[in-house]
Structure 1
Amino acid sequence: MKWMIYGANGYTGTLMAKHAKSLGLTPVLAGRKSEAIHRLAGELELPSVVVDLTDTQALQQALAEIDVVVHCAGPFEITAAPMIEACLATKTHYTDITGELSVFEYAHAQHQRAVDAGVVLCPGVGFDVIPTDCVAAKLKQKLADATSLTLGFDSASRMSRGTAKTSVRRLGDGGAVRQDGKIISVPLAYHTRHIDFGNGEKFAMTIPWGDVSTAYYTSGIPNIEVYIPASPKLVKKLKRLNWFRWLLRFEWMKNFLAKKIDQQPPGPSEKQLEQAITYVWGEARNDKGDVETLRIKVMNGYKLTSRGGVDVAQFILNHQPQGGYYTPSLLCGSELVEKYYVDA
């Protein structure tokens, strides 16, 4: 059984490759940058292949003998579809580390094709969205008739360049929440409230996190919002930005901002990877006013992603689930997140 990490030379892909190697696993390291891929593969003594996602024939050839791919090369709104198409053609199980709302919805829309091909489609096998998705599943178990679900997380960790670029690309689209089972577009910083994520009460705002998509498929709860801590100053800036959001939809503007991001460090420092705890919170309510709350503490999001990608790939290889679209908790169970708990 063979598996691949595509985008292995990126910040998170490298963390994942090194973690896999530490476990004695031998993924194929892949990506489009020949020098970087071969250098990493040589360092870790792992097999490698160089292939561009735009070369459909070469990509299918590269995947022909691969059983599972962990796709780590964003922005996923651009890269997910060609990889999913290639996986459906070659009957390769697909996972990725996206947090992008549109990618989850795209993958879900391919459910029947995946069933017919016997291919698992499970995006979001990292921090986006394992912890929050499992919290959603656990809250549904505690309050079966819940009609609203609020999720959130608090992390002091620096973003990777890839995450920052993805966030910038999404700004022009505004926010998103789920109402009565449907995803609706809303302004940036649409709702605010005070939340104790597990580290003291903080002012927080809504974000268009992947769970606006995935938590619905996991739990069936029709109304979903996701929050992160934010200063009142940032909230005011984002609310003002709503008037100029159209500017951020231009590709030249996205590219300009991406170049600015390239000047930043590649991601969290070693110290942050080991010490930056992430607090994850969820709250479910039913129409009678009953409330269930859950708080967990997990490892740094990028460290969790490096482990989650490996863990889910191994789960698929070992269990050979039926084809179709899955969220992480639907695939591996809500207890998956318990591997990443930390004490603090």
Structure 2
Amino acid sequence: MQWMIYGANGYTGTLIAEQAVARGLQPILAGRNQAAIEALGERLELPVRVVDLADQAALHQALAEVDLVLHCAGPFELTAEPMIEACLSTRTHYLDITGELAVFEYAHQQHQRAQAAGIVLCPGVGFDVIPTDCLAARLQQQLPDATHLTLGFDSASRMSRGTAKTSVRRLGEGGAIRQQGEIKTVPLAYKTRDIDFGGGSKFAMTIPWGDVATAFYSTGIGNVEVFIPASPNLVKRLKRLNRWRWLLRFNWVKNWLAKKIDAQPAGPDQQQLEQAHTYVWGEATNRAGERVELKLTVMNGYKLTSLGALDVAQQVLMQAPEGGYYTPSKLLGPELVDRYLVTS
């Protein structure tokens, strides 16, 4: 079966393409940057397609050749919708590596259309959000009547440029939690607490992570918050920034910040990919005050993404699940995360 990696020339897309070749797979590499895509295709000896998401006719033609697209070109708040719409029209399975709330919500809204088209829509098939999603599902299994779910992770890895740009674009929108089943916009650094993610207690703050959407669809738990470690100084700066968030919604500000990010390294170096592991933590509580806590240590997020995205893609191609919207744990089960555990 034919499948495509769109945005293959980006940092994470390239990692996935390289891992695909290591597995003996032959995806089509696609994107809008002709020079970069063709150079990568030549290096990896893979076929290429140059297509811009804005050219819907060309995109439909490219997708008509494939059974599945693994979408790796962010920011996904801009690129996911045109790709999903094209996939629905061409009956092409859709996977991506986003962690953006708006994309998960949009994809979930297309559930019935995906069922009718007979295709899988499963955003977040990388570090965003495989480990936290699977941990959430396991917590719900252990405490079926849980009403509150709190998740978090601690990573020392450098961000890729794409992840950093996405984070900057989100600043103007503030934070997000799920409360009584609904996503609620909250200030940046809305809540803080001390958490032992796995490497010792750390001061942490809430972030608008993808699980605010996906954990609800995976578990049915209506109250979800996600935390990461943060210094007290960073929390203070973010709290002060709340009054100026409106400035960050202007495109010229976003573009200025994106240019500054472009001057940074593309992403983690090889040493970080191999050695910068990630602690994943979660707790579930119910009305009776019962509490369950789980911790995992997984590989570097970008390495996990390069493996996880391929694992999900291969599974979908081999098994052709019933069409509809899925989270990673709903598609492959909570045990999916076991493939990426670090034991020493």
Deviations 1:215-263 (A, max 9, x none): 0000000100000000000000000000100000001100000000000
1:4 aligned counterpart, secondary structure: strand
CA drift of 1:65 comes to 1.9
Per the alignment, residue 56 of structure 1 pairs with: 56
Deviations 1:300-329 (A, max 9, x none): 000000111111000101110011000000
Per the alignment, residue 211 of structure 2 pairs with: 211
Q: Distance in 2 between matches of 1:69 and 1:143?
A: 36
The one-letter code sitting in structure 2 at the alignment partner of 1:7 is G
Q: Distance in 2 between matches of 1:325 and 1:343?
A: 32
Per the alignment, residue 329 of structure 2 pairs with: 329
Q: Distance in 2 between matches of 1:163 and 1:65?
A: 29
Per the alignment, residue 79 of structure 1 pairs with: 79
Q: Distance in 2 between matches of 1:299 and 1:142?
A: 24
Q: Distance in 1 between matches of 2:81 and 2:152?
A: 28
Deviations 1:170-203 (A, max 9, x none): 0000000000000000000000000000000000
The one-letter code sitting in structure 2 at the alignment partner of 1:173 is E
2:153 aligned counterpart, secondary structure: strand
Per the alignment, residue 13 of structure 2 pairs with: 13
Q: Distance in 1 between matches of 2:69 and 2:187?
A: 35
Structure 2: which 5+ runs fail to align?
none
Q: Distance in 2 between matches of 1:198 and 1:318?
A: 36
Per the alignment, residue 268 of structure 2 pairs with: 268
1:233 correspondence with 2:241: no
1:41 correspondence with 2:41: yes
Per the alignment, residue 24 of structure 1 pairs with: 24
Per the alignment, residue 189 of structure 1 pairs with: 189
The one-letter code sitting in structure 1 at the alignment partner of 2:334 is S
The one-letter code sitting in structure 2 at the alignment partner of 1:25 is L
Aligned residues: 344
Q: Distance in 1 between matches of 2:74 and 2:291?
A: 37
Per the alignment, residue 318 of structure 1 pairs with: 318
Q: Distance in 1 between matches of 2:118 and 2:65?
A: 15
Deviations 1:273-298 (A, max 9, x none): 00000000000000001101000000
1:312 aligned counterpart, secondary structure: helix
The one-letter code sitting in structure 1 at the alignment partner of 2:43 is E
Q: Distance in 1 between matches of 2:224 and 2:315?
A: 28
Per the alignment, residue 303 of structure 1 pairs with: 303
2:190 aligned counterpart, secondary structure: coil
Per the alignment, residue 96 of structure 1 pairs with: 96
Q: Distance in 2 between matches of 1:330 and 1:69?
A: 19
Per the alignment, residue 147 of structure 1 pairs with: 147
Q: Distance in 1 between matches of 2:103 and 2:322?
A: 21
Task: Provide the identity percentage.
Answer: 71
Per the alignment, residue 292 of structure 1 pairs with: 292
Per the alignment, residue 255 of structure 2 pairs with: 255
Per the alignment, residue 280 of structure 2 pairs with: 280
Q: Distance in 1 between matches of 2:127 and 2:316?
A: 18
2:264 aligned counterpart, secondary structure: coil
CA drift of 1:148 comes to 0.2
1:2 correspondence with 2:2: yes
Per the alignment, residue 116 of structure 2 pairs with: 116
The one-letter code sitting in structure 2 at the alignment partner of 1:183 is I
Q: Distance in 1 between matches of 2:329 and 2:314?
A: 15
1:125 correspondence with 2:125: yes
1:152 aligned counterpart, secondary structure: strand
Q: Distance in 2 between matches of 1:245 and 1:67?
A: 41
TM-score, structure 1 normalization:
1.00
The one-letter code sitting in structure 2 at the alignment partner of 1:319 is Q
CA drift of 1:127 comes to 0.2
The one-letter code sitting in structure 1 at the alignment partner of 2:87 is C
Q: Distance in 2 between matches of 1:238 and 1:33?
A: 35
Q: Distance in 1 between matches of 2:47 and 2:296?
A: 37
Deviations 1:78-121 (A, max 9, x none): 00000000000000000000000000000001111111111110
Q: Distance in 1 between matches of 2:307 and 2:50?
A: 24
Q: Distance in 1 between matches of 2:136 and 2:115?
A: 25
CA drift of 1:343 comes to 1.6
TM-score, structure 2 normalization:
1.00
